[in-house]
Amino acid sequence: MGDGDAKLPSNLEKLNLLDHFVYGDFEIRVLEPFEPGHMQAACIVDAKNLVIQH
């Protein structure tokens, strides 16, 4: 999956995420194998029970 293929779930896509704090239950998909001491790329697959604060 290339970066151009990544899309946010529709309930997050319509929010301006730079202007809000968003809390909830997120399902993510890890895009890289685990390597100790390193961060892994991941994408958000689903988001439920969202709480949005300004």
pLDDT tens, N- to C-terminus, the chain (54 residues): 455 556 788 888 877 777 888 899 999 999 999 999 999 999 999 999 989 887
Cα separation, 17 vs 35, whole angstroms: 29
Beta-bridge mates of residue 29: 43
Domain ranges of the chain: 3-53
Three-state DSSP state, 53: strand
**In 3D, which of 37, 46, 43, 38 has the Cα closest to residue 12?**
46
Predicted model pTM: 0.67
